């Protein structure tokens, strides 16, 4: 069994934290993992992505081939569309529905939404609003992880919950409980 | 049981070096190599052992300090991004002539596809030029394991050993099985005069290096990092170098002979054997066609060799599972059509960054001078080339802003303005400023000082709190070294000072100084 995941968004949105949590869960479960990240100049307000590969078998390539990602997990709707050629035919897109507009030529938001809705398997939530309404403004990325948990298969929700707790442990009880709540919110959908 | 840790390729290199008894790492930050030194700086064992890990001013000072540590009998590591090899090339090439005492490993992190670089030069050429061995790991595990072998090989051969990695290994995480940390026995300090490269001695030393070549070749032929996997009745032979091996295995190696190459000089006997057992050879290597050219020369022009030079793989850019699968003739998965509405989202200067105010002011004043040119340099502020600023006319290499402005001023261009960051200035700008002072060149140098090496993530900057003293020390008139605080509310003052210094016929330096907002945020948290 394998899960190839493209994590994407805009620099600073917290996609690497999602990768850290999934990585923590996978390591604990003894699953093979490779995760290629983007560091350096491209992080500053530009598009960022990470290739995360999980498998019960040995993994060779650090990069995901075109047409073979089981999941695109995106913090931003247009960024989800950027990586469509990597999505497998029966793959799923899990994305925030709220645009992050920091460029003058951002496309029409309704068109972005329509393109996403036309895909065979897509899950969308306004995660930034949900995070604010629920007093967890910094946990939008963990809401997204909760949404993705329904499609991860190779890791159970419990394994991911435990990883959320371990990753945020250092930051104290309040941060852990906010993120646990965020995870449940996303999981519920 | 051995411990398993999830490590970036860079971290695997760092831990491998520490566990091999490293005494010092010497480096200047550069993507994708930065995390190696950072890992050692934050490592408990390194602190307990007193491993040197402070950042150096540039790659040349790093290379020379590491060579000095080797002379004194201890194991040293130098790390840099590929273009850093250009900066340290003099010391690097000659370190093969002096030879080494304590093990010396030179790690070069290449950046095919130029994710964060201005070219995709291949460091294996440098190793070939200096005539030293290269280790090129295919995985994070090999990166860790190879470090101990690299130090051992360096001490056996008494030459530096290069380890070459690429972005996709440096910045990719995987589980690594780690072993025990050993303590390396310090060797006695060099006693003879063989390191004094006067012509008479250098000729002898160069001959010694030539005489070591068969030993290097033998080490590569016998290396367990190079291995042949034969498929019965196969027509195609594939040479897979470093991480290229992973893409070949991902595509599936059924029905092909594969020679994995992770140690150089090239194992020529194995390549001849591969050629004899196959009808054609495909060379898969990340970077430039270093091996492809060597294989062509080895097998002769009647033998079919495919690779980047023949267009079977793209001539530029990094390898991907897709272009390797295509070169192997493997079927690919159907893909969704690319969305036509997605707009590019280039990186940009952070909101509130001081460089923004510097460019706002420069653009305002430059607009008053039709012939004005702003020569840029390497750092976050290179983003001043993009909208909304579009201020800079050039970005070439570390320090070139000052010297290019000088040359342009020599040619009569006015006003010639240089913009350089604080860390880039101490890396390679100071000598150029001295040239300008000695020539009384008519240039205005802006040292945009954010108190850190920001682009690589906020490492210490070598000259912090010393810039005025450095500039006046090099001979810039004290009244023409001006310090401003780049904030919108100071715009009138900043533009007035820029105007005054442009009008001054000679070398002037303006230092807009305000801490990087990323490091400021981090400092506030602590």
Count of CA atoms in the C-beta half-sphere (13 A) of A108: 5
Residues B233 and B204 reside in one and the same domain: no
Asked, for residue B339, whether it belongs to a domain, the answer is: no
HSE at residue A188, side-chain half, CA atoms within 13 A, is 8
Nearest one of B261, B290, B286, B58 to B172, comparing CA atoms: B286
- State whether B82 and B157 are in the same domain: yes
* Residue whose C-alpha is closest to residue B385's, from B396, B371, B399, B370: B396
Domain count for chain B: 3
Domain shared by B234 and B196, yes or no: no
Which of B33, B335, B382, B522 would best serve as a mutation to test chain A binding (most A beta carbons within 10 A)? B335
**What pLDDT, on the 0 to 100 scale, is given for residue A41?**
59
B262 is in which domain, residue-wise? 227-327
**Position B333 in a domain:** no
DSSP B292: H
Q: How many residues does chain A have?
A: 189
In a domain, B342, yes or no: no
Interface of B with A in 358-397 (CB under 8 A): 380, 383
Name residue B509's beta-bridge partners.
B445, B481
As averages over each run of 10 residues, the pLDDT of chain B (526 residues) reads 88 98 98 97 98 98 98 98 98 98 98 94 98 98 98 98 98 95 94 97 98 98 96 89 98 94 98 96 98 97 97 98 96 92 93 96 98 97 95 97 98 98 98 98 98 94 97 98 98 98 98 96 88
> How far, in whole angstroms, is CA B472 from its chain's centroid?
31
Residue B223 Rama label (left phi>0; alpha psi -120 to 50; beta): beta
Q: How far apart are CA B331 and CA B354, in angstroms?
A: 51
Residues B189 and B274 placed together within one structural domain of the fold: no
Residue B335 lies in a domain: no
In 3D space, the residue among B41, B62, B58, B59 whose CA is nearest the CA of residue B50 turns out to be: B41
Task: Specify if B114 maps to a domain.
Answer: yes
**Do B174 and B247 belong together in one domain?**
no
Torsion over CA of B433, B436, B441 and B447, rounded to 10 degrees?
Answer: 0
> Is B345 in contact with A102 (Cβ distance < 8 A)?
yes
CATH number for the domain spanning B237: value is: 3.40.50.920
Pair B89, B216 in one domain? yes
B456–A102: do the CB atoms touch at under 8 Å? Answer: no
Tell me the residue range of the domain where A11 lies: 2-188
Same domain for B409 and B312: no
Task: Answer yes or no: do B371 and B506 share one domain.
Answer: yes
Q: What is the pLDDT of residues A164-184, one digit of tens each?
A: 999 999 999 999 999 999 999
The pLDDT tens digits for A80-120 are 999 999 999 999 999 999 999 999 999 999 999 999 999 99
Chain B residue numbers with beta carbons less than 8 Å from the beta carbon of A79 are 345
* The pLDDT of residue A117: 97
Domain-terminating residue out of B195, B222, B249: B222
Tell me, yes or no, whether B59 and B90 share the same domain: yes
Query: How many domains does the structure of chain A reveal?
Result: 1
Counting Cα atoms < 13 Å in the Cβ hemisphere of A65 gives 23
CB atoms A34 and B174 under 8 Å: yes
Q: Is B483 exposed, middle or buried (0-12, 13-18, 19+ CB in 10 A)?
A: middle
CATH number at residue A105: 3.40.920.10
Does residue B302 lie within any of the structural domains?
Answer: yes
Q: How many other CB atoms are found less than 10 A from the CB of residue B350?
A: 20
pLDDT digits over A106-159, tens only?
A: 999 999 999 999 999 999 999 999 999 999 999 999 999 999 999 999 999 999
Which residues 64-123 of A have a C-beta within 8 angstroms of B? 64-68, 78-79, 81-82, 84-89, 102-103, 105-108, 111-112, 115, 119
Confirm whether B126 is domain-assigned.
yes
A122-125 and B227-229 beta bridge pairing = unpaired
Sign of the torsion formed by the C-alpha atoms of B88, B93, B94 and B99: positive
Number of Cβ pairs closer than 8 Å across A and B? 146
Q: d(Cα B519, Cα B453) in Å, to the nearest integer?
A: 10
> The whole model's pTM is what?
0.96
- Check B341 against A106: CB less than 8 A apart: no
Return the percent helix, strand and coil in chain A, to nearest 5: 45, 25, 30
* Structure confidence at residue B525 (pLDDT): 85
User: Helix A15-29 crosses helix A157-168 at what angle (to 10 degrees)?
Assistant: 120
Peptide bond into A152 cis (omega under 30): no
Mean of pLDDT values over A38-67: 88
Give the tokens for residue A113. Answer: 């939404």
Domain for residue B504, yes or no? yes
B247 and chain A: CB distance < 8 Å anywhere? yes
Q: Which three-class secondary structure state does DSSP give residue A92?
A: strand
What does the pLDDT read at residue A43?
Answer: 64
B68 and B178 part of one domain: yes
Sequence-ordered strand ranges (E) for A1-109: 2-10, 32-36, 47-55, 69-74, 87-96
**Edge-first strand listing for the sheet containing B280-284:** B227-229, B256-261, B236-241, B280-284, B304-306
Question: What is the per-residue pLDDT for B1?
Answer: 54
B84, B110, B113 from B398: Cα distances, Å: 10, 17, 20
CB atoms within 10 A of CB A86: 25
Sheet-wide strand order for B104-110 = B24-27, B76-81, B104-110, B161-166, B134-135, B263-264
The whole-angstrom distance between A44's CA and the closest CA on chain B is: 5
CA of A134 to nearest chain B CA: how many angstroms apart?
A: 24
pLDDT of amino acid A44: 74
Q: How far is CA A47 from the centre of its chain?
A: 14
For residue B299, the tally of other CB atoms under 10 A from its CB is 18
The closest CB to that of B31, out of A27, A39, A103, belongs to A39
The answer to whether the Cα torsion of A171, A173, A175, A179 is positive or negative is: positive
Which residue matches tokens 């019965």? B232
Q: Which of B243, B341, B347 sits opposite A41 (nearest CB)?
A: B347
The answer to whether the CB of B227 falls within 8 A of the CB of B258 is no
Question: Does B174 touch chain A if contact means CB atoms closer than 8 Å?
Answer: yes
Q: Tell me: pLDDT of A71 over 90.
A: yes
Distances (CA, A) of B89 to B50, B70, B83, B108, B401: 28, 17, 10, 12, 21
Query: In chain A, what percentage of residues exceed pLDDT 70?
Result: 97
Query: Shortest CA distance to B260 belongs to which of B273, B272, B270?
Result: B270
* Cβ atoms B136, B262 nearer than 8 A: yes
Last residue of a domain, one of B222, B239, B265: B222
What ipTM did this prediction achieve?
0.95
Between β-strands B104-110 and B161-166, what pairing exists: parallel, antiparallel or unpaired? parallel
Are residues B81 and B202 part of one domain?
yes
Q: Which CATH number does the domain housing residue B101 bear?
A: 3.40.50.970
Single residue among B222, B255, B274 that ends a domain in this structure: B222
Contacts of B325 in chain A (CB under 8 A): 65
- Give A32's contacts in chain B (Cβ within 8 Å): 175
* Contact call for A78 and B341, based on CB within 8 A: yes
Is the alpha carbon torsion for A34, B18, B144, B71 positive or negative? positive
Q: Same structural domain for residues B241 and B365? A: no
Chain A residues near residue B321 by CB distance under 8 angstroms: 61, 63-65
């Amino acid at each position: 069994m394998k899960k190839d995941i493209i994590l994407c968004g805009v620099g600073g949105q917290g996609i690497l934290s999602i990768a850290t949590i999934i990585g923590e869960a996978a390591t604990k479960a003894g699953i093979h993992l490779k995760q290629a990240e983007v560091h350096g100049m491209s992080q500053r307000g530009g598009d960022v992505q990470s290739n995360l590969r999980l498998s019960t078998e040995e993994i060779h390539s650090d990069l995901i081939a075109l047409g073979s990602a089981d999941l695109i997990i995106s913090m931003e709707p247009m960024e989800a569309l950027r990586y469509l050629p990597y999505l497998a035919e029966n793959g799923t897109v899990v994305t925030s529905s709220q645009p992050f507009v920091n460029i003058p030529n951002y496309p029409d938001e309704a068109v972005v939404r329509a393109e996403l809705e036309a895909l065979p398997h897509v899950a969308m939530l306004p995660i930034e609003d949900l995070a604010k309404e629920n007093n967890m403004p910094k946990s939008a990325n963990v809401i997204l992880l909760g949404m993705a948990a329904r499609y991860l298969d190779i890791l159970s929700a419990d394994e991911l919950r435990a990883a959320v707790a371990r990753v945020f442990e250092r930051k104290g009880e309040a941060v852990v409980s906010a993120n646990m709540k965020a995870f449940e919110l996303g999981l519920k959908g | 049981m051995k411990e398993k840790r999830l490590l970036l390729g860079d971290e695997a290199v760092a831990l491998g070096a520490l566990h091999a008894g490293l005494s010092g790492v010497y480096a200047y930050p550069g993507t994708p190599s930065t995390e190696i030194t950072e890992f050692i700086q934050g490592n408990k064992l390194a602190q307990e052992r007193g491993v040197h890990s402070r950042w150096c001013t540039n790659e040349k000072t790093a290379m020379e300090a590491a060579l000095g540590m080797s002379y004194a009998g201890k194991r040293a590591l130098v790390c840099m991004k590929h273009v850093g090899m250009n900066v340290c090339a003099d010391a690097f090439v000659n370190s093969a002539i002096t030879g080494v005492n304590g093990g010396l490993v030179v790690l070069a992190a290449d950046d095919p596809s130029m994710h964060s670089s201005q070219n995709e030069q291949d460091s294996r050429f440098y190793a070939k030029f200096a005539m030293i061995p290269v280790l090129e790991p295919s995985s994070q595990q090999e990166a860790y394991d190879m470090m101990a072998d690299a130090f051992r090989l360096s001490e056996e051969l008494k030459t530096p050993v290069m380890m070459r990695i690429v972005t996709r290994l440096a910045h990719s995480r995987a589980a690594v099985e780690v072993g025990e940390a050993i303590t390396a026995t310090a060797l006695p300090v060099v006693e003879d005069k063989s390191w004094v490269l006067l012509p008479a001695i250098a000729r002898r030393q160069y001959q010694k290096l030539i005489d070591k070549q068969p030993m290097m070749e033998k080490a590569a032929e016998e290396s367990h990092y190079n291995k042949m996997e034969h498929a019965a009745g196969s027509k195609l032979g594939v040479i897979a170098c470093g991480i290229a091996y992973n893409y070949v295995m991902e595509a599936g190696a059924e029905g092909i002979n594969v020679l994995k190459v992770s140690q150089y000089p090239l194992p020529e006997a194995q390549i001849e054997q591969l050629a004899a057992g196959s009808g054609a050879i495909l060379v898969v290597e990340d970077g430039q066609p270093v091996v492809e050219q060597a294989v062509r020369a080895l097998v002769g022009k009647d033998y079919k060799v495919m690779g980047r030079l023949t267009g079977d793989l793209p001539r530029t850019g990094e390898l991907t599972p897709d272009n390797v699968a295509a070169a192997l003739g493997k079927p690919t998965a159907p893909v969704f059509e690319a969305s036509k509405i997605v707009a590019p989202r280039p990186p940009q200067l952070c909101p509130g960054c001081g460089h923004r105010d510097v460019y706002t002011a420069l653009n305002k004043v430059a607009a008053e001078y039709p012939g004005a040119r702003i020569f840029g340099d390497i750092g976050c502020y290179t983003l001043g080339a993009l909208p909304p600023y579009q201020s800079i006319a050039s970005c070439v290499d570390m320090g070139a802003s000052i010297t290019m402005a000088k040359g342009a001023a020599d040619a009569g261009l006015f006003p010639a303005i240089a913009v350089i960051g604080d860390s880039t200035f101490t890396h390679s700008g100071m000598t150029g400023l001295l040239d300008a002072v000695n020539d009384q060149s008519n240039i205005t140098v802006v040292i945009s000082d954010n108190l850190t090496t920001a682009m690589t993530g906020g490492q210490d900057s070598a000259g912090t709190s010393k810039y005025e003293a450095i500039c006046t020390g090099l001979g810039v008139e004290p009244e023409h070294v001006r310090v401003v605080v780049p904030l919108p509310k100071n715009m009138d003052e900043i533009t007035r000072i820029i105007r005054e210094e442009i009008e001054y016929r000679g070398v002037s330096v303006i230092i807009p100084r305000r801490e990087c907002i990323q490091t400021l945020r981090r400092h506030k948290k602590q």
